[in-house]
A and B are shown apart, each in its own frame.
Chain A
Amino acid sequence: MIDELGQFALVLALALSLAQLGLSVAGRLRRDAALAGAGEGAAVGAFAALAIGFVALIHAFVTSDFSVLNVAENSHTAKPLLYKVAGAWGSHEGSILLWCLMLTGYGAAMAASGRLPFGLKAWAVACQGALGSLFIGYMVFASNPLARLTAEPVQGNSLNPLLQDPALAAHPPFLYAGYVGFSVVFSLAVGALAEGRVDPAWARWTRPWALAAWSFLTVGITLGSFWAYYELGWGGWWAWDPVENASFMPWLLGTALLHSAAVTEKRGALASWTVLLGLGAFTLAMMGAFLVRSGVLTSVHAFAVDPRRGILLLVILGVAAGSGLALYAWRAPTLKDEAVFAPISREGALFVNNVLLAAATATVLIGTLLPLIRQAIDGTPISVGGPYFNLTFTTLTVPALLLVPVGALLAWKRADAMGALQRLWPAAAVAVAGGLLALALVSPRSAVAAAGLAVGIWVVAGALVEAGERVRVFRAPWAEVGRRLAGLPRGSWGMTLAHLGLGVFALGAAFETAWRAEAGAALQVGQTMRLAAFELRLDRVDPHVVGPNYEAVRTELRVLDGAGRLVCAAAPERRVYAAGGQTTSQVAICPGILDDIYVTAGDQRDAGDGKAAYLIKAYWNPWVRLIFLGPLLMALGGVISLSDRRLRFAVPGRARQAAAPAPAE
């Protein structure tokens, strides 16, 4: 009964989205506030209807209603409650429902926000309705999450055990909240193009949505990477897998968007570029959904292939992105773009940052799509490996990283480059000293890694110098520093924190990539193996550990340091899940302050004299904690910026006066 109600709600949501589109367009064309208001009402209604459908799906999963195909394929009565709920978005159908729910949720939030001018809002709500109609239509007609089975099975197929994990339960909602958040930016860009007007006020309205989407996406990608790190047992955190790239490209373009929107807001420049980025970020987000959900790419985490769905998603992507870009090509020349600015200025630095980020996005895009293009041209299947991405991406992002502290210290309009560099000398000194120290002390000696480390220190120290300059630390009496600290706008806290996070990430990535160590051996009980400066001893094996929905072989190891002292005890497991019969390996991690010792247990081998040996693989991942901490700091910076009163209340122009003493954020 509840399932039928949910089904009905999904169809209702489709009807309401179509109404949202029609009413808003009619309201705008006839300048009728009542019609446009009805369109906004329909947007809220569509969200409410999808929420009912979503609750119905969760209900079906929680009650293990196997008469629903989706539940039968992805759930199991013995599954813990969290994963029953998370199973609702673990499948293709459920994740599309989650996507639509978020899409209408953002649409409803925009429709309910009171600040947008009539014309822009009506077009944006209409565009959001059009996007909603496309995706909800796809869900209702081609990917129904609540479809019934004629014969109800006794037990379900269960969710893939690799996906039964807290980080991965939270990963899709965050990722989708990020992806779909860019839909509002897309709609506002379409609205601006339709109205033929992009001004600082538009940038100010757009920025909070972009900031929210970017923060969610940052957390989503980090959770995914963290999951891949500790669940897949391969010891790494990023593989340039197509699916990872699919989430990373909108993030890169979204980062560029945040910075160019700041230029448009403060200086009225780069307006049409900002609009293009707004269109591009959501286009890449939709492409991400297409790449992941259609199975066109060979990927570590491609889902089941269904050509019909892939083609439908491609059509939706083509229609949405194509019409957005066509509108841009038609209307962008009419936008008034005050592109005049001095090269040495905050906006000049942000422009260079945008060029670098856009170029980096393009190289990732090429590497991700080249296998598809080549296959389409002459049918040769190829794959593009990690070295391509490492080389191109690093080449383009290192200059951007070097520029971050400088740009943050430059003033708007016309800045003093020498002054900024003079203020940055402590950061430069610390960075060079840190790099040299690493070159001298850390073995094996690596100049590239030391340089990477110096870049990370430069960004971190630069962010601290920038914050210090803002509050005049060491230059004004402490009382004044305190006063300035308290009066600092949240937006500048956010920026400092985000840049700090970027530097922290760069530090971790450089250190971990250069100085990680790995070792593997088949150990019998009592045998040891070496990993970097550590010694791992296999103490005990418990072959019959019984978990809630699995059985496991647990290997217990002791990790000793060079002096023979106990560092920690690690107990990696090899689990066999009763439902589906799949084996997974449960990683054991010995967390240090920054480092991890990462141990996985593999197959059992016959060691010859009737004894069993166990394949143990271990990694030492120094500073790996920073890789996950950095992005979280960045997201936190985004959230803090989002809470800035100026973003919500102030009219454009007033902020410049309010922040007069320090260079405006």
Chain B
Amino acid sequence: MAWLPRSRAARRRLMMVAVAAPVLALAVGVALFALKGSISFFYTPAQAAAAHVPPGRAIQLGGLVRAGSVVRKPDGEVDFVVADHTAATRVVFRGELPDLFREGQGVVAIGAFDAAGVFQARQILAKHDERYMPPELADALKKQGEWRGDGAAPTYGSQGGAR
């Protein structure tokens, strides 16, 4: 095999490249393939309407839970409206709501629109920190002028009424 390098060290180095290259090619290939199917975009209701998100495409929907819109049905389904400044979307979720889910507060629902335009949520995002607001949502709300600062000012005391 005349095309192989002469020195032993160079041959061995070639061997290492020959092992590493297909693994890296495989990694890149699989990563690109997998990314195609699992990237999801973030929309507020107004953005989703403007972008004509097709039914069934997995997205993240962020906005404020409209006060008074939450209906907890006996069969475990939860119905509520996620709204931004200009549009609102009905969201249906079956399962356990995160502990920090509140009317009038920010929420991110992961799921897809159904044919009727209702958002079927697979997951509702919860945060460890009650002061936390997902950055995407904060940005989107800031643009629409609905931003109310980084949550309520911390209150010291055990009433908990402020939140």
Which residues of A are in contact with B by a Cβ distance under 8 Å? 66, 72-73, 76, 153-158, 160, 162-163, 233-234, 295-296, 298, 300-305, 339-341, 343, 351-352, 355-356, 359-360, 362-363, 366-367, 370, 380-389, 391-392, 395-396, 520-522, 578-585, 600, 602-603, 605-608, 613, 615, 617
| A396 touching B95 in the complex, CB below 8 Å, given contacts A76-B158, A351-B19, A582-B100 | no
Contact of B150 among A305, A522, A579 (CB under 8 A): A305
The answer to whether B132 and A603 touch across the interface, beta carbons within 8 angstroms, is: no
Point out the residues of chain A lying under 8 angstroms from B26, CB to CB: 359, 395-396
The answer to whether A522 and B39 touch across the interface, beta carbons within 8 angstroms, is: no
Contact of A581 among B31, B74, B163 (CB under 8 A): B163
Tell me the smallest distance from the CB of A397 to a CB of chain B, in Å. 11
The answer to whether B97 and A603 touch across the interface, beta carbons within 8 angstroms, is: yes
| A302 touching B128 in the complex, CB below 8 Å, given contacts A157-B155, A340-B8 | yes
Stretch at the interface among B82-90, B112-120, B133-141: B133-141
Bound together, the chains give a CA A227 to CA B94 distance in angstroms of 24
The answer to whether B99 and A584 touch across the interface, beta carbons within 8 angstroms, is: yes
B30 in contact (CB, < 8 A): yes
Bound together, the chains give a CA A109 to CA B126 distance in angstroms of 40
Point out the residues of chain B lying under 8 angstroms from A605, CB to CB: 72-74, 76
Point out the residues of chain B lying under 8 angstroms from A73, CB to CB: 154
Bound together, the chains give a CA A384 to CA B39 distance in angstroms of 5
Q: Of residues 124 to 150 in B, which have CB atoms within 8 Å of A's CB atoms?
A: 125-136, 138-139, 150
With A395-B27, A396-B27 given, can you name 14 additional A-B contacts, CB distance below 8 Å?
A: A154-B156, A162-B128, A298-B108, A303-B128, A340-B8, A340-B9, A340-B12, A351-B16, A355-B19, A387-B38, A391-B34, A395-B26, A582-B99, A583-B99
Tell me the smallest distance from the CB of A151 to a CB of chain B, in Å. 9
A to B CB contacts below 8 Å, 6 in the list: A355-B19, A381-B41, A381-B42, A382-B41, A392-B34, A395-B30
Interface centre among A355, A384, A521 (most CB of B within 10 A): A355
Bound together, the chains give a CA A154 to CA B158 distance in angstroms of 10
Identity of the chain A residue whose Cβ is nearest the Cβ of B16 in the assembled complex: A351
| A155 touching B158 in the complex, CB below 8 Å, given contacts A339-B9, A617-B96 | yes
Tell me the smallest distance from the CB of B12 to a CB of chain A, in Å. 5
Point out the residues of chain B lying under 8 angstroms from A584, CB to CB: 99
B68 in contact (CB, < 8 A): no
Contact of B136 among A72, A162, A298, A351 (CB under 8 A): A298
B20 in contact (CB, < 8 A): yes
Tell me the smallest distance from the CB of B106 to a CB of chain A, in Å. 12
| A383 touching B39 in the complex, CB below 8 Å, given contacts A154-B157, A355-B19 | yes
The answer to whether A615 and B76 touch across the interface, beta carbons within 8 angstroms, is: yes
Bound together, the chains give a CA A304 to CA B130 distance in angstroms of 8
Point out the residues of chain B lying under 8 angstroms from A157, CB to CB: 154-156
Number of A-B contacts (CB under 8 A): 180
The A contact surface, by secondary structure, is mixed
Contact of A383 among B8, B40, B94, B139 (CB under 8 A): B40
Which residues of B are in contact with A by a Cβ distance under 8 Å? 8-9, 12-13, 15-16, 19-20, 23-24, 26-27, 30-31, 33-35, 37-42, 58, 60, 72-76, 94-97, 99-100, 108, 125-136, 138-139, 150, 154-161, 163
Contact of A163 among B38, B97, B128 (CB under 8 A): B128
Identity of the chain A residue whose Cβ is nearest the Cβ of B40 in the assembled complex: A383
Point out the residues of chain B lying under 8 angstroms from A388, CB to CB: 31, 34-35, 37-39
The answer to whether A233 and B156 touch across the interface, beta carbons within 8 angstroms, is: no
Contact of A295 among B27, B37, B135, B163 (CB under 8 A): B135
| A581 touching B27 in the complex, CB below 8 Å, given contacts A298-B134, A305-B133 | no
The answer to whether A72 and B15 touch across the interface, beta carbons within 8 angstroms, is: no
Point out the residues of chain A lying under 8 angstroms from B134, CB to CB: 298
Tell me the smallest distance from the CB of B141 to a CB of chain A, in Å. 13
Tell me the smallest distance from the CB of A256 to a CB of chain B, in Å. 13
Bound together, the chains give a CA A359 to CA B31 distance in angstroms of 10
The answer to whether A606 and B156 touch across the interface, beta carbons within 8 angstroms, is: no
Bound together, the chains give a CA A158 to CA B159 distance in angstroms of 12
The answer to whether B73 and A155 touch across the interface, beta carbons within 8 angstroms, is: no
Point out the residues of chain B lying under 8 angstroms from A384, CB to CB: 35, 38-39
Bound together, the chains give a CA A387 to CA B33 distance in angstroms of 11
Tell me the smallest distance from the CB of B123 to a CB of chain A, in Å. 9
Bound together, the chains give a CA A364 to CA B128 distance in angstroms of 23
Tell me the smallest distance from the CB of B121 to a CB of chain A, in Å. 14
Identity of the chain A residue whose Cβ is nearest the Cβ of B41 in the assembled complex: A382
The answer to whether B20 and A578 touch across the interface, beta carbons within 8 angstroms, is: no
The answer to whether B34 and A522 touch across the interface, beta carbons within 8 angstroms, is: no
The answer to whether A359 and B24 touch across the interface, beta carbons within 8 angstroms, is: yes
Point out the residues of chain B lying under 8 angstroms from A305, CB to CB: 132-133, 135, 138, 150
Contact of A300 among B30, B58, B126 (CB under 8 A): B126
Interface centre among B12, B39, B125 (most CB of A within 10 A): B39
The answer to whether B76 and A521 touch across the interface, beta carbons within 8 angstroms, is: yes
Point out the residues of chain A lying under 8 angstroms from B34, CB to CB: 387-389, 391-392
Bound together, the chains give a CA A233 to CA B157 distance in angstroms of 28
Tell me the smallest distance from the CB of B161 to a CB of chain A, in Å. 8
Bound together, the chains give a CA A137 to CA B85 distance in angstroms of 42
Tell me the smallest distance from the CB of A507 to a CB of chain B, in Å. 24
The answer to whether A339 and B13 touch across the interface, beta carbons within 8 angstroms, is: yes
Contact of B132 among A295, A520, A602 (CB under 8 A): A295
Identity of the chain A residue whose Cβ is nearest the Cβ of B78 in the assembled complex: A603
The answer to whether B130 and A582 touch across the interface, beta carbons within 8 angstroms, is: yes
Point out the residues of chain A lying under 8 angstroms from B13, CB to CB: 339
